[in-house]
Amino acid sequence: MKSVLNQLFTNMNINPNSANNSISKILMKCYSTKEVPSIKELSNLSNVAESTITKFAISLGYKGYRELVFKIKLEISDREHQQKLEIGNKSFSDFEEKVIYAIRELRYFENKIMSAKKSIKKAKNVFLFSSYQFQNDSIFLAELLRRNKIECSYSTQMFDQLLMANKVAKDDFSIFIIGGQDTKTIELILKEFKQDNCLVLATHSKVNEVSTRFKTICIDSKQLKHLYEYRTLILKYISLQLVN
């Protein structure tokens, strides 16, 4: 769609002494004042007949002055909204770039994510284990898996997780989410875990403590603070990758 402002600017410069020039100048001021005159007001301001204004609007490709006014008001509104967005963008653009960079960092683990995704589809059952801090994230992942008709077992009770670990078979797949302060139980489960078919999602401080026999992904980014609020963002992105 052609910009009305550009059309007015073009008409204003075609013939400086024409009626079109006079009408265009007045209408261009509307973008600053945000007030569009009626056809009668414009007629008085530009010293031309109302019929001339109608012909002017038609020459620009509109049915009449009423449609031209509507387009001008719409364009003024769009420009105002865009300006607000640009002002707002300055306040969060740095954070936005950091989040995008953090997500792109996960490409380093692309093979592990794709491998886990295939294993989940083939698995008879999927078992989730997590430390206390990431219980909500595990519930989120469990719900995603169930919605995709994948059998999934998870409990927020650590004792239940201890019992679950002994039920995991070779044709099952397991996911461990480790981080936070109270991780002794989940670390014990992982240490004694008998199956290799699993994925470990861990914070940077726990990655080095995980056995190298497991596929491990660090959920921390150099660009983001090492706090739960940022880690859960990365975890949800990984969870969505695993089921899509």
| pLDDT tens profile 141-193 | 999 999 999 999 999 899 999 999 999 999 999 999 999 887 888 889 998 99
The CA distance from 11 to 208, in Å, is 69
Both tokens of 191, joined, read: 């240490």
Alpha carbon distance, N-terminus to C-terminus of the chain: 37
Which pLDDT score is estimated for 84? Answer: 60
Which pLDDT score is estimated for 91? Answer: 54
The CA distance from 1 to 160, in Å, is 62
Q: What is the pLDDT of residues 110-128, one digit of tens each?
A: 999 999 999 999 999 999 9
Q: Calculate helix-pair angle for 65-105, 19-33, nearest 10 degrees.
A: 50
The CA distance from 181 to 173, in Å, is 26
The whole-number average pLDDT for the span 92-96 is 73
What pTM does this model have?
A: 0.62
Percent of the chain with pLDDT over 70: 93
Both tokens of 133, joined, read: 């801090």
The whole-number average pLDDT for the span 75-80 is 80
CA 73, distance to chain mean position in Å, is 30
Select the more confidently predicted residue: 91 or 148: 148
Q: What one-letter code names the amino acid at 212? A: T
DSSP for residue 200: E
The CA distance from 236 to 143, in Å, is 12
In the chain, what are the domains? 4-80 (1.10.10.10), 109-243 (3.40.50.10490)
Tell me: pLDDT of 1 over 60: no
Number of helices (H) and strands (E) in the chain: give both, helices first.
11, 5
What does 34-58 look like in DSSP terms, one character per residue?
-----HHHHHHHHT--HHHHHHHHH
Tell me: pLDDT of 214 over 90: no
The CA distance from 104 to 57, in Å, is 50
